[in-house]
């Protein structure tokens, strides 16, 4: 195959395979079987091996890992990753609502309720539509750069779709689904290894492994829930999450806009009853003011 045909086919295969990854890992709607997918991936690997200069930054072959990290470099967060305050009673939530309405009088307040996922917090930065770096929460100011390991998680896009900001950050939670955790622990026991105590420990330990090829073997997933940047397309948290879903991010549907505290309490009660139906463990509910302008006030 000549160089121009190889370059064109590498670009074509990269787009096709990334699309199939999105269909399978984000939308849960695969359109081809495993064998056909593997054949496409093998063709791409062969072409990239023969023409390495034509491999793209968003190539799905990065998902298999291979980088060995002796130690993780630390990186400062552009926006501090603060831990969330815990509230345990309806009275405390009502007091929170009163404080918000006093700070923003004579305006309608809209909240967004989301589930608090029990995993490992991660911050992803995208530049010109490509994943630039991934950093753990750390102490909230400085975290570990785990980009090579995060690139192995197939639900995290390496290249975005549609119209997106040139430079922005999106935060989420890396976790191991309960079903995948059970299978993973079963394999560890069969291999004579100690099982992990819980999915969160397994996800945290996986993310800090030095061999990204080993990380690629772990059943990691990621939910994204917060977009930050100076040139976001919309003025509310909820609407930007919907945009992020269009760009290719795995934004879960476990969220709701609420105009009253009664609606907030209803959301909390519904998911307290329905938590056993979820594919992962949760640690409560997160409540955010929807408007960015009102958040700043």
Cα torsion angle, 8, 160, 29, 215, sign: positive
List the one residue out of 164, 99, 152, 111 whose CA is nearest residue 290. 111
| Catalytic residue, candidates 29, 42, 46, 116 | 116
Q: Per the structure block, which two tokens stand in for 136?
A: 């753990």
Angle at which helix 178-190 crosses helix 199-207, to 10 degrees, equals: 80
Strand pairing report for 74-76 and 282-289: unpaired
Quote the CA–CA distance of 33 and 41 in Å, as a whole number. Answer: 13
Q: Annotated catalytic, 186? A: no
CA of 276: how far to CAs of 24, 130, 270, 271, 279, in Å?
Answer: 23, 36, 11, 9, 8
**Closest by Cα among 275, 254, 146, 263 to 205:** 146
- Pairing state of beta strands 74-76 and 255-258? unpaired
Q: For residue 253, how many other CB atoms are within 10 A of its CB? A: 6
The Cα 292–Cα 115 span in angstroms is 20
Pairwise CA distance, residues 136 & 295, whole Å: 24
Structure tokens of 251? 């934004």
Helices (H), the chain: 3-25, 34-50, 90-103, 147-150, 178-190, 199-207, 212-215, 237-247, 261-274, 292-296
Q: Which residues are annotated as catalytic?
A: 116
């Amino acid at each position: 195959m000549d160089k121009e045909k190889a370059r064109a086919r590498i670009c074509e295969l990269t787009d096709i395979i990334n699309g199939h990854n999105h269909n399978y890992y984000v939308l849960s709607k695969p359109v081809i079987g495993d064998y056909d997918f593997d054949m496409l991936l093998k063709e791409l690997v062969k072409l990239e091996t023969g023409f390495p200069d034509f491999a793209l930054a968003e190539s799905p072959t990065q998902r298999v890992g291979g980088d060995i990290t002796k130690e993780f470099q630390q990186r400062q967060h552009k926006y501090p990753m603060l831990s969330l305050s815990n509230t345990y009673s309806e009275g405390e939530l009502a007091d929170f609502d009163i404080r918000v309405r006093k700070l923003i009088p004579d305006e309608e307040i809209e909240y967004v309720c989301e589930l608090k996922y029990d995993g490992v917090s991660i911050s992803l930065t995208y530049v010109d539509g490509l994943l630039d770096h991934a950093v753990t929460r750390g102490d909230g100011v400085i975290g570990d750069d785990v980009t090579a390991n995060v690139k192995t998680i197939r639900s995290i896009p390496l290249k975005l779709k549609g119209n997106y900001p040139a430079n922005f950050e999106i935060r989420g939670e890396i976790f191991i689904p309960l079903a995948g955790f059970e299978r993973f622990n079963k394999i560890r026991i069969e291999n004579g290894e100690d099982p992990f105590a819980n999915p969160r420990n397994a996800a945290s330990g996986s993310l800090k492994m030095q061999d990204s090829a080993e990380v690629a073997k772990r059943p990691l997933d990621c939910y994204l829930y917060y977009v930050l940047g100076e040139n976001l397309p919309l003025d509310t948290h909820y609407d930007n999450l919907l945009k992020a879903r269009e760009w290719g991010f795995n934004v879960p549907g476990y969220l709701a806009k609420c105009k009253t505290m009664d609606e907030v309490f209803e959301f909390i009660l519904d998911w307290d009853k329905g938590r056993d139906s979820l594919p992962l463990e949760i640690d409560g509910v997160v409540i955010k003011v929807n408007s960015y302008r009102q958040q700043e006030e």
